[in-house]
Amino acid sequence: MTPKQATALLRAAGDPAKAAEMHRYHKVDRPYLGLANPQIDAFVKEWRAAIDLETRLALSKGLWKGNIHEGRVAAAKLLTQARIRPDDQGAWDLITSWVPEFDAWAIADHASIAGQKRLVADPSRLDEVETWTTSDHMWTRRAALVMTLPWTKQNNPKPAEIAARDRVLGWAASYVNDHDWFIQKAIAWWLRELSKHDAPRVRQFLATHQSAMKPFAVREAGRKLAS
C-alpha cells in the first residue's frame, strides 16, 4: 500500500457535498474529501492488518505530506496503538515531526491521541514535550496538554505518575495568562478530566489561577467538581 493508492481509495469513498461542509466547518484551507471518521477507521484497520511497521510509517508519512484532511487523520490513526513493535521510536519521531504543522483542532487532536500512546509507552519523552511549552506556535503549546491527558486519568497514581501530573499542571499554570481560546480550552480540558480523579488538585489550581483564566475556561474546568 502506497500513499498514492491509499489516497485514491479515500478519494473514491468521498462525498463532495459533505467535503464542502467540512471545509466551511474546519475553516482551514486544505482539501477535504467528505469522509466520516468511521469510514477512515475502516480503511485504517484494513491497512494496518496488511502491512508491516516500516510500510505503515512510510504510509503515514506520505498521507500526512499529502495535506488532505482525511489523509492526515488516517496518518494519525495508523500510529494510534498502545504497543508498537519492534520499534516505537520511529512512530514517536514521526508524530513529533508533525507538531509544528498543526493548524486545526481535529487533525491536531487525532495526532495527539497517537502521541499519547507513545508518551505512555515511554514517559521519559515528557522531557521533549516540555520544550513545546515555550514555543511561539500556539498549536505546539496546546499539544503539550492534549498529549499528556493520560496523566489525568489514574485513580491511584504511582509516585512517578503524581510527579508527571504535577509537572503538567505547572505547564498549565504557565499558560493561564495566554487568553487564546484554544489554549484556555486546553487548560480547562486538562483540569476537567483531572477533576474526575483528583478533585483536590483541581480546586487548588483554580484557587490559585482562576483570576487569570478566561471565565469560560474556569466554568469548564470546574464542571465535574462536586458542589
Query: What tens digit of pLDDT does each residue of 29-87 get?
Result: 999 999 999 999 999 999 999 999 999 999 999 999 999 999 999 999 999 998 887 67
Reading the block at residue 122, the C-alpha cell is: 515511554
Is pLDDT of 226 > 90?
no
Query: What tens digit of pLDDT does each residue of 71-119 get?
Result: 999 999 999 998 887 677 899 999 999 999 999 999 999 999 999 999 9
Of 109, 172, 119, nearest in space to 141 by CA: 172
The residue that leads in pLDDT, 68 or 226, is 68
Calculate the average pLDDT of the chain.
95
Domains parsed from the chain with CATH numbers: 1-121 (no CATH), 151-227 (1.25.40)
Angle subtended at Cα 91 by Cα 50 and Cα 75, rounded to the nearest 5 degrees: 60
Q: How far apart are CA 19 and CA 33, in angstroms?
A: 5
Q: How far apart are CA 221 and CA 212, in angstroms?
A: 13
* Rounded alpha-carbon distances, angstroms, from residue 210 to 6, 176, 195, 215: 47, 8, 15, 8
Q: What is the pLDDT of residue 88?
A: 77
Helix then strand count (H, E) for the chain reads 13, 0
User: pTM for this one?
Assistant: 0.93
Q: How far apart are CA 106 and CA 124, in angstroms?
A: 26
If you average pLDDT over residues 162-173, what whole number do you get? 98
Residues in the chain: 227
Is pLDDT of 227 > 60?
no
